[in-house]
Amino acid sequence: MPKLTPLKPIEVIKKLKKLGFEGPIPWWRHAHMIKGELFIPIPLHGWKELWVGIISAIINEAWITREEWMKL
């Protein structure tokens, strides 16, 4: 299984856009990406890198595999 690495929020947003998500829609300290009924929050705390645990949760919420995520 490919190993995830921390990413900046803008990189996560770009990958989600490649998957067909719309946004980012700003909301308090998070941006939200939307695709149909899927609604994924992206933390924007000072535009620091997102931890691997957060990226893993985003991947699970987007209903894709780590392999698909790494190919984006």
pLDDT of residue 1: 66
Number of structural domains found in the chain? 1
* Residue 2 resides in a domain: no
Task: State the 10-residue block means of pLDDT for the chain, 72 residues long.
Answer: 87 96 89 94 85 95 94 92
Indicate whether 3 belongs to any domain. no
Q: What is the pTM of this model?
A: 0.89
Q: Which residues contact 6 (CB under 8 A, 6 or more apart)?
A: 49, 50, 51, 52, 55
Report the CATH number at residue 26: 3.30.920.30
Give the pLDDT of residue 71.
93
